[in-house]
Structure 1
Amino acid sequence: MTIIVCPLSYVDTIARTRKPSHLVTLLDPDHEIETPEGIAPERHLRLGCHDVSDFVEGLNPPDASVVRQLLAFGGGWNASAPIVVHCWAGISRSSAAAFVLACQRNPHASEHEIAFEIRRKSRYATPNPRIVELADMLMARQGRMIDAAHAIGRGELAHEGRPFDLKADW
């Protein structure tokens, strides 16, 4: 099955047309969305964090709790239907979360192979470095996820990315 990465503006359309079983929302802590029709509320994970990598006064960067929740939620996804991962623009937090979920499902897969597939699928994807670093530590990847994210570099600048599919199994 697949991990669908998209911006907020595509969530309802993708929920309606692709029939995902799970949804991960990574938005600023004060920005909530309703669970789209067709997705059970308990299968919608809402993670409130700002899209920053360093500590900035007044902002909430992703922390270990956010990544632990993502990993726990991802562990409950059986991949019989797609999972949608979105943030505001579909570029940074969502691509990082998709990278984390793909690495989690495939503990022996090459982190570089997964990261370069993200780049191949999206020229805009720029995985949030803080999410990647925390996941690398929590999953004991010994810096390989961090190196892989650095290897694909920053994506093209854009106001909003385009939806893309990342295979779940490698």
Structure 2
Amino acid sequence: MKPISISVLTVCGIDELPNHGTLGVTHVLSLIDPGSPALEAFQNYDSHHRITLNFHDIIEPLDGKVMPGPEHVAEVLQFGEELAASREARSDGHLLVHCHMGVSRSTAAMLTLLAQVHPGETEDRLFARLREIRPQAWPNSIMIGYADDLLGREGRLTAALRRHYGHRIKHDPEVADWMARLGRRREVEMAAD
């Protein structure tokens, strides 16, 4: 894939969106729950290209909730292809990826885009890049699993995710309790040294 000519990469939560309205955001990937109200913060943004994907931030099926599926991750990759295709029409860009809190869905999507743009980069380096962008990243494991398959990474993204979880817990032990309370105990148990 050719470079996407994006020099600024941002991940945030909904409550942080107003802080980015004057920062020249050119592309937005919104990952929000189905039925979420329109996000008024974008009314204060300059003209930008935005797509919205609607699914819940869950890792186990729950009644009335939409699980992340391979089709959602394929749409993230399609968004990446559109970024690459639009490169000739712009000199630079600022990509903002957000979900509700800027921790799980958005960081999984950003990691997916990084892996797409840098196919030769090691998976651990991709996660290090992600931590530089969003230190509190705890990517949704279901989404990373689909990205692993769709990008032909043969399990290496998932293995690196385990190490990333271990890194996060080592540097912020309270995150393990927080994730367990959110129904993400399986991801906490995935953590590796």
TM range (shorter): 0.7 to 0.9
| Alignment size in residue pairs | 156
| C-alpha deviation, 1:100, in angstroms | 0.4
Q: Which amino acid aligns with 2:70?
A: A
The answer to whether structure 1 residue 26 and structure 2 residue 31 are counterparts is yes
Percentage of identical aligned residues: 25
Contact 1:2–1:81 under 8 Å retained in 2: yes
Please give the alpha-carbon distance, in whole angstroms, between the structure 2 residues aligned to 1:38 and 1:88.
21
Q: Give the helix-richer structure, 1 or 2.
A: 2
1:67 and 1:93 map into 2 onto residues whose CA distance is 10
The normalised TM-score by structure 2 is: 0.74
TM-score normalized by structure 1?
0.83
Q: Which amino acid aligns with 2:74?
A: R
Matched, 1:95 2:107: yes
Change (3 A) 1:39 1:143: farther
Please identify the structure whose Cα radius of gyration is greater: 2
Q: Quick one: distance in 2 between partners of 1:96 and 1:54?
A: 16
Residue 76 (structure 1) shift: 1.4
CA separation of 1:46/1:99 partners in 2, compared to 1, >3 Å: closer, same or farther? same
User: Does the residue aligned with 2:21 lie in a helix, a strand or coil?
Assistant: helix
What is the Cα deviation at residue 121 of structure 1? 4.8
User: Are the aligned partners of 1:24 and 1:84 in contact in 2 as well (CA < 8 Å)?
Assistant: yes
| Counterpart mapping for 1:66-81 below 5 A | 66-77=72-83, 78=87, 80-81=92-93
Q: Which runs of 5+ in 1 are unaligned?
A: 159-170
Question: CA offsets, 1:117-163, max 9 Å, x none?
Answer: 323554421000011001111111111111111111064437xxxxx
Partner residue in 2 for 1:141: 153
- Classify the secondary structure of the residue corresponding to 1:91: coil
Taking the aligned partners of 1:83 and 1:122, their CA distance within structure 2 comes to 13
Residue number in structure 1 paired with 2:184: none
What residue identity is the alignment partner of 2:120? Answer: H
TM-superposed deviation, 1:10:
1.5
Alignment RMSD (CA, Å): 2.0
Deviation at 1:32, TM superposition (A): 3.9
Q: Within 2, Cα distance between the matches of 1:44 and 1:153?
A: 29
2:130 alignment partner, SS class: helix
Of 79-88 and 22-31, more deviation after overlay is shown by 79-88
Relative contact order, higher structure (CA 8 A, sep 6+): 1
